[in-house]
Structure 1
Amino acid sequence: MSESFDLGRNVSRETSERFYHYVHLLRKWNPAINLVARSTIDDVGRRHLADSAQIFDLAPADAQIWADLGSGGGFPGLVAAILAADERPHLRLTLVESDQRKAAFLATVSSELGLKTKIRAERIESLGPLNAEILSARALAPLASLLSFSERHLASGGVALFPKGANHQVEIDQALEDWKFSYQKTPSRTDPDAVILTIGGITRV
């Protein structure tokens, strides 16, 4: 490998090689289908890989079913799948992405890297309940909308992991108008203004 990425954590050699292959495919496909902003492609390690890896590190280690909504270029879903291949082989990930071209990218990466993922090229609202023990979504929708998705797809006792930016408290306050939930904020390792929200006990008010 001629390139390494700062993931903010240690990984095995095999995992590092998978990330290298993943980024190679990301850069190959990105000009055609805009998987990530061009301004971030040269800093993909910090902006996307490390940012997603920290979400994986907050996920319950004993969970077996993880659903990532609006996976796009695979953040955090593919990153979690790559880390899980070596560290949590019992974990199965479902990546939901309605854009057919992006879903094809996710399927290609999963196949070439030998990842245990299921790609669902459907709209989140039209899917039957996924009963996920872990639910994630990165840069997809306001928190109130994500809680509506969680109500449908999160298993009883499961946790939702949602990275949010500088206005996260505003989103929390707005969501609390219609939802009751517990939450914990973990400061982001890649953005001083951002947090990862760990959310559970989601019910409508």
Structure 2
Amino acid sequence: MNVSRETAERFTLYETLLRRWNPKINLVSPATLPDLRTRHIDDCLQLVRLADPQGGEWVDLGSGGGLPGLVVAIACADRPVTVKLVESDQRKAAFLRTVIRELDLPRASVLCARIEGIKSLNAAYVSARALAPLPRLMAYLDHHLAADGQAWLLKGAQWQSEVEEARRHWKFDLFSYPSETQHGAAILRISRLSHE
């Protein structure tokens, strides 16, 4: 994804902050730090390119180190997209707030709370990465996604078996995109979700 010079500078600063904070609060696996750009940032940028949000509210569940929520906020900084990062860990929420402040991302905010403990956010877009298996994610998506919204999920190589299991209790439209950064992984777009 081609980005402006300002956006590229924000990503560089985000990387720097993530590397600085990671030894203290383990935002990403230390083994992946040498490949931080490809393994994490470029991986999440695929999602932004596919969803191409032009406006509305984006909610990232279990944001952790801001993947993909902060990547969305940085890539969409010049669009009318508000990004809400939901993270229950106080230390990780502090990291997210620091990045938002340092990178000047006024349309991004942090909600430090448990996902199931907050009222419906009724978002146009909901994302999650490495949060939970799809069958467990479905209740969160059902609670926080607007009726005409889309969920964008980055899933590993076992994504097809997760989809099969989720379909036992949920009805939903699904479109999958092969990951360009991880062999066998996929980006899932889920919509029209309802409980069986």
TM-score by length of 1: 0.93
How do residues 43-192 of structure 1 correspond to structure 2 at under 5 angstroms?
43-86=35-78, 88=79, 90-115=80-105, 116-192=107-183
Aligned to 1:11: 3
Native 8 Å contact 1:181 1:199 kept in 2 = yes
Q: Does residue 33 in structure 1 map to residue 29 in structure 2?
A: no
% same residue? 50
* Pairwise CA distance, 1:60: 4.4
* Pairwise CA distance, 1:164: 1.0
The RMSD of aligned alpha carbons is 0.8
Native 8 Å contact 1:133 1:154 kept in 2 = yes
Native 8 Å contact 1:63 1:134 kept in 2 = no
Take 1:71 and 1:167, find their aligned partners in 2: how far apart are those partners? Answer: 21
* Pairwise CA distance, 1:62: 3.1
Native 8 Å contact 1:71 1:97 kept in 2 = yes
Query: What's the secondary structure of 1:160's corresponding residue?
Result: strand
Task: Give the 4+ runs in structure 1 shifted more than 6 A.
Answer: none
Name the amino acid aligned to 1:133. A
TM-score by length of 2: 0.97
Name the amino acid aligned to 2:176. K
Take 1:70 and 1:61, find their aligned partners in 2: how far apart are those partners? Answer: 20
Query: What's the secondary structure of 1:73's corresponding residue?
Result: coil
Name the amino acid aligned to 1:203. S
Report how many aligned residue pairs link the two structures.
195
* Pairwise CA distance, 1:42: 1.2
1:170-201 per-residue CA deviation (whole Å, 9 max, x = no partner) reads 00000000000010010101012111010001
Query: What's the secondary structure of 1:184's corresponding residue?
Result: strand
User: What are structure 1's unaligned runs of at least 5 residues?
Assistant: 1-8
Name the amino acid aligned to 2:146. A
Take 2:140 and 2:45, find their aligned partners in 1: how far apart are those partners? Answer: 22
User: What are structure 2's unaligned runs of at least 5 residues?
Assistant: none
Query: What's the secondary structure of 1:61's corresponding residue?
Result: coil
Take 2:9 and 2:190, find their aligned partners in 1: how far apart are those partners? Answer: 32
Query: What's the secondary structure of 1:85's corresponding residue?
Result: coil
Name the amino acid aligned to 1:198. R
